[in-house]
């Protein structure tokens, strides 16, 4: 069993896609083992996206993720990290395949509705950061 960090971003919550996204995760057979809906601080989001701190879009994504509540989740299942990344789809929703969460439900590169950890190391780091 593997655990990954999944976050429905503020646009996903604003657009009332929480049920749709959780439904897909549950139907796949994964367990949601921890979850919290809250508006994250800038400090938390800056730490979360630390790998992107030198990128031109860093300030924009911190503003975006802190503008309202997010649904932060721990998702558990076999190969959950890789399988969730496949279910989420490409970073740019215009390139994400139909059938993926971003391919079906998003259209903006920045506002792509969901985050999923990209490796075991990221999952461990992000779960600790968001849930302690
Ligand atoms: O989320 P993912 O791991 O697929 O992509 P990332 O490369 O780690 O980028 C993190 C987030 O920054 C993306 O999910 C987008 O919300 C945003 N982003 C952006 O606004 N503009 C880019 N050129 C790349 C990413
Ligand atoms: Mg990433």
Sign of torsion over alpha carbons 58, 72, 36, 74: negative
What share of the chain has pLDDT > 70, as a percent? 100
The total domain count for the chain is 1
**Angstrom distance (rounded) from CA 109 to CA 111:** 6
- Give the position, in ligand 1's atom list, of the atom nearest the Cα of 64: 16
To the nearest whole number, what is the mean pLDDT of the chain?
Answer: 98
Is the CB of residue 119 below 6 angstroms from any atom belonging to ligand 1? Answer: no
Structure pTM?
0.98
Give tens-digit pLDDT for 77-107.
999 999 999 999 999 999 999 999 999 999 9
**Angstrom distance (rounded) from CA 70 to CA 9:** 5
pLDDT score for 106: 98
pLDDT score for 28: 98
Give the residue whose CA is nearest to atom 5 of ligand 1.
Answer: 91
Is the CB of residue 110 below 6 angstroms from any atom belonging to ligand 1? Answer: yes
The domain that holds 40 is classified in CATH as 3.30.70.141
pLDDT score for 78: 98
Its domain, for residue 34, covers: 2-131
Is the CB of residue 118 below 6 angstroms from any atom belonging to ligand 1? Answer: yes
Residues 68/125, Cβ–Cβ less than 8 Å = no
Q: Ligand 1, residues 70, 110, 119: which to mutate, most atoms within 8 A of Cβ?
A: 110
Question: What phi, psi does 95 have (nearest 5°)?
Answer: -100, -10
**For residue 2, what pLDDT band results from cuts at 50, 70 and 90?**
very high
């Amino acid at each position: 069993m593997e655990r990954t960090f999944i976050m429905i971003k503020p646009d996903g919550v604003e657009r009332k896609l929480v049920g749709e996204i959780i439904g897909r995760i549950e139907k796949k057979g994964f367990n949601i083992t921890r979850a919290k809906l809250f508006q994250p601080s800038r400090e938390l989001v800056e730490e979360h996206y630390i790998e992107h701190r030198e990128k031109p879009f860093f300030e924009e994504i911190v503003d975006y993720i802190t503008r309202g509540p997010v649904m932060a989740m721990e998702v558990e299942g076999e190969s959950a990290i890789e399988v969730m990344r496949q279910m989420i789809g490409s970073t740019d929703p215009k390139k994400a395949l139909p059938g993926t969460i971003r391919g079906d439900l998003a259209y903006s590169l920045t506002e792509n509705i969901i985050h999923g950890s990209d490796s075991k190391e990221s999952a461990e780091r992000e779960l600790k950061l968001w849930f302690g």
